[in-house]
Structures are given as structure tokens and as C-alpha cells.
Structure 1
């Protein structure tokens, strides 16, 4: 379990970890270098399943390599597609979905997540989520288009019915205005 408040990624992992069951299903909506995929694969255990999405083959290769080194490749399905396609591919319900928006660390900075597809992906994630499940989002605002994507995520999340979803927003108030923002959405109801 991640500890500390020094990282938006660690915060999201901490906040979604309580909703993931051993043997459950989870989604890494932005595989990147595989860190969230590995984290979720550890939580679901050998009987669980994680779907990891990315549009870049480089990201999927890095994720595949990390999974093989950790001996967890058998519990993950790597999908080369945009995260907005998850509802067509993932068999729900799912315990958790993690998004790390922006660009692939160490990759091409011009290839980024976009507000329109991200909002569609968030809606797909909510449709797949079981009661008590959580969606965790890290929004990086320091790159071109990042602030607009953050605004779109916050607008969508704030419009959700408070009887059906619990939504929190966390930001680092002692860092620059370009620091990442965390949004966590919990589907109301008790976990099964």
C-alpha cells in the first residue's frame, strides 16, 4: 500500500485501493510505464483481472516488461486502444479505474490525453463501476491542453448526482499552480 502525501499518483492509489477486492477486476485507463497496472494487478491477486489501455505501443511494451519482471502478466490484458473504448472491451462490473492524464513520461509530449475522449472514458468507467467502486484520476495541468482537460474533468465530475456518486478533488496548495490535481469518484452503495 502506498504511503505519504507527496505524490498525486500515490494519493490516487491509496484512495482506490480500498475498493479493489482480491479476485476482482480493475482498469488502468492509461497504462503509461505500467506503474498503476502493476499496482492494480497486485491488488486483484492471481484470480483477478486488470485491463490496461494505451494508444502507444511503447507504453504497452514498457507495461508488458514490468509485468513480466513482477510475474504478473497472466492477470493483465493489455489493450492498444483509447481509454474511451473501455466499455466495448472490459467485462464489468469493475472495482476501480485509474487514470493518469497527460503524456507518457519519457515519451512524445505532443501525444497527450484530450478533454473530449477523457470525459467519454470517465463516463464509460462510471458505467462499468460496481457500487462501492472508485475511479481515481490524476490530472497534470502543466502541459499545453492540461488545464483545459482538468476543467473538463472537474465539470463532468461536479455534475454527477450526489445521491449516486461521491466526488472529491484534492490539490497541493503549497505547490505551483501547475501541480497535478486528484479527482476521485466513488459509486454510491456498499461493496459486494
Structure 2
């Protein structure tokens, strides 16, 4: 792994998990970088569902995907991630990805919150197929989400260890509240 950014760290594990034809969800599409990677990995026969509450995120993602020339295997929704269970069946999703915090370059008052993120994570865990992967990039520095970070991490500790493997890592020697990468595997 050449790049040590949190998203690249997560992408490494997605590449191990996702196969052409899979169904994947980008629960917080933002500017579409993760959506693009998911589209590339799932291929023409796959499907990517991407969610964000900001119309500007959909526009940025749509443009990114068009420029990248990815397969048209995606559906973009201007809806909260708490609605993803309306678009996929239980046990059908290979990989679900979250970037918690606010849209880079966007309105910081429109950040994810602990209550809705935990609700969406719970839904996502039901949607994952056995062996499925969920990745969380938890950003908490500055004005975004210390409460969300604490709430999500506390919730993850309660997950049944017979059903889920939760791996929480950290950039141990980085200053200024670096993001926390988390992987959850449905057993």
C-alpha cells in the first residue's frame, strides 16, 4: 500500500472483498471518490447505490463518474443513509462504506450525526451478506463529530462477536484528531 490516507487504507480491503457483479452501497457519497471505486470494482454486471443528503454531492458525484467513464451501474439518491434498507434486500450487499463527518468543501453544519449514523449502520449490518464488509472512516477533528465518534465507537463495542468481527484501527502517532478507520465483517 503506497498511500496511507484513510480512504486508500479502506480501498485496499474493498479490493479484497468486492467482485464483479456485486451489490455495494456508498452510504455517504460526498464528492464521489468512493462511489467511483465501487463502480469500477463491481463492473458492468454489478450495482452501486449511493446516498447523500446534499444535492451538491449528487452533482459532484455524477460529474466525477461521467469524467471517469465508469460503467453506468450506479444509482444516486438525495436521501439520508437511514433509508438504504428501502433499496436493497437483507443479506444481499457485499460492501457498505461510510465516511462520517461533513462533505469536504461543503457546509459543516450538514455533518453526519451519531443517532442517524448508528441507525444506518444497524440497517447496513442487516443488508450485508455473510462474509460482507462494512468500512467506516470516522472523522472527528475540528467542528465535526466528537459526539458522533464516541457514540459510534460505543455502539460498535456492543455488536455480537459471534455475528460480527469489528476491527478498529488508528493513526497512533498523528496529531490533530486523525480519522479512525473501522472494518466490520459479517460472520
What is the TM-score normalised by the length of structure 1?
0.92
Runs of 4+ deviating beyond 3 Å: none
Q: Deviations over 1:38-62 (max 9, x none)?
A: 0001110111000010000000000
| Structure-to-structure mapping, 1:127-146, within 5 angstroms | 127-146=126-145
What SS does the aligned partner of 2:61 have?
helix
Partner of residue 176, structure 1: 175
Distance across 2 between alignment mates of 1:20 and 1:145: 30
Q: Which residue of 1 aligns with 2:109?
A: 110
Q: Name the residue aligned to 1:51.
A: 49
Give the aligned length: 186
Following the alignment from structure 1 to structure 2, what is the Cα–Cα distance between the partners of residues 147 and 176? 15
Residue 5 of structure 1: CA displacement? 5.3
Among 34, 50, 66, the alignment partner of 1:68 is 66
CA contact (8 A) 1:50 1:75 kept: yes
Q: Which moved more, 1:40-49 or 1:70-79?
A: 70-79
User: Shift in Å at residue 16 of structure 1?
Assistant: 2.7
Mark the runs of 5 or more structure 1 residues left unpaired by the alignment: none
Give the 5 Å matches for 1:67-106.
Answer: 67-72=65-70, 74-92=72-90, 93-106=92-105
Secondary structure in structure 1 of the residue aligned to 2:148: helix
1:91 Cα offset (Å):
3.9
CA-to-partner distance for each residue in 1:96-123, whole Å, 9 max, x for gaps?
0110111111111111000000000001
The 3-state SS of whatever aligns with 2:152 is: helix
Match of 1:7 in 2: 5
Instruction: Tell me how far 1:170 sits from its aligned partner.
Output: 0.8
Matched position secondary structure for 2:143: coil
- The reply on whether 1:119 has 2:108 as its aligned counterpart is no
Match of 1:32 in 2: 30
1:145, 1:49 → 2: CA distance? 31
Tell me by how many angstroms 1:163 deviates.
1.0
Separation in structure 2 between the aligned mates of residue 73 and residue 80 of structure 1, nearest angstrom: 20
